[in-house]
Amino acid sequence: ETGVTQSPTHLIKTRGQQVTLRCSSQSGHNTVSWYQQALGQGPQFIFQYYREEENGRGNFPPRFSGLQFPNYSSELNVNALELDDSALYLCASSPRGGEEKLFFGSGTQLSVL
């Protein structure tokens, strides 16, 4: 059984650029959530996708957007990067009906200079 995989593991961007982060969900899981973990903080909910549609969003501006594909993989896109976007971005998948027990990937460490 393949777990949640994220790519890339590390990324360096400059302010104003755009970035796309990718996530493959665990086999059998059709719900994907994205979290941002800033240094010294707990993960903060960005949004969740179920059956290719956004199914809940946290307190993040519209420049944070996402997609879920028919194979349940997902992308997180961030436009007009700001220095405060520097963080660990975590993708988590779950089977419908068990959303609370999320299975996390190892994350993408994004640095914005």
Residues lying near another protein in the complex (CB under 8 A): 4, 33, 35, 40-45, 48, 56, 58, 90, 92, 99-107
Task: Give the start-end residues of each E strand in the chain.
Answer: 5-7, 10-13, 19-24, 31-37, 44-50, 53-57, 64-68, 74-78, 87-94, 103-104, 108-112
User: Taking the complex as a whole, how short is the minimal distance between the CB of residue 78 and another protein, in angstroms?
Assistant: 19
* Residue 44 or 73 having the CB closest to another protein: 44
Distance CA(111)–CA(95), nearest Å, equals 31
User: Taking the complex as a whole, how short is the minimal distance between the CB of residue 4 and another protein, in angstroms?
Assistant: 7
* Residue 73 or 104 having the CB closest to another protein: 104
Distance CA(13)–CA(25), nearest Å, equals 25
User: Taking the complex as a whole, how short is the minimal distance between the CB of residue 37 and another protein, in angstroms?
Assistant: 8
Going by the DSSP 8-state scheme, the letter that residue 83 receives in this structure is: G
* Residue 28 or 40 having the CB closest to another protein: 40
User: Taking the complex as a whole, how short is the minimal distance between the CB of residue 1 and another protein, in angstroms?
Assistant: 15
Q: What does residue 85 show for φ and ψ, rounded to 5 degrees?
A: -80, -5
* Residue 59 or 71 having the CB closest to another protein: 59
